[in-house]
Structure 1
């Protein structure tokens, strides 16, 4: 936990249809981020995690995005996904901790308990609302992040970063709160820390080449 406190965590991901969606390329991006002072990285899929682990000694928040028919939960939705993430080298496992229905019989608290007991890894709960943040803390999460604010039916119409949500979570919770989602500048990252964030995750604004180029092209078109 001390290694992440007050620092920048870079989310190194790319769309599946992008040439950047390659384990070695993601590993190079992650290594570059750490070389320039990032305190950790956030990485999706076991193959990418394995490649990054070979290149990076900093803490890795790992996840596996899996689309399961009839379910909206997709960030490490089940225990066997968490197992694969842990085996690939993640130090912290991120899971969807919203109130949306989960596949199988597993509950959030049951998933977190198994990750703790069987994998020996801390859990980052990705949430969208204060109520779900409190529920995730009660379920045993080690970190709670604002990751899904603006991306669920409960927060539709809201645009991240969720600074108001962040401030509420910092006030109500006794565990580290990570600000993730929509941070577009160093100034906003600093603002998140000033509101009490334990650490800040930045993705698209640093590593989202595909989306950033699309934005420029649309504006110029």
Structure 2
């Protein structure tokens, strides 16, 4: 089964003139019982934060919280001492564990920041909080799959507390990429930027979910290229 999630069907929220957010799954004041998550993948928010804006210190527990910057720069601070500024293509992982306070602010007073915030439910609870960053690499834009998150930190990825992987591929116009789907797993394909023409025409913000699907997944970038994220998740 293939599940479609068009960009314009997502939830939409604006706050205080500084935040414009699109919600793939139910979040905050946006609630849709048909879109509560996809396996342990609970949140994909596409956030645009105006210069000088941001999320004041607040708490989370027992969630793997991932931020991927598309444009601009995001400044993070948390109660474990973790923190830093992340720029385009950089990934941040905060394992909230038994509880952590954190803030996220636009690192610029004037320019917007555009990023994805992703929440993945961990497979263990009340662990020690943790923080890590992954800088972009030269081969990230070479048209091959790069592993951003994995259970064991393989291939220079960040280690996540779940049997899940996050992969990305960045394709130039007309370029192709392929991977194989295991029907014993479930997959979520999120288009961060650009567009693809196969297996279906998708634009930025669109997504497909794959359940009980096996075999090759062949992708072809559209005329603007494509930046794609693939979540490899446990079936149940």
Q: What is the TM-score with the length of structure 2 in the denominator?
A: 0.33
Q: What is the TM-score with the length of structure 1 in the denominator?
A: 0.35
The structure with more strand, counted as a fraction of residues: 2
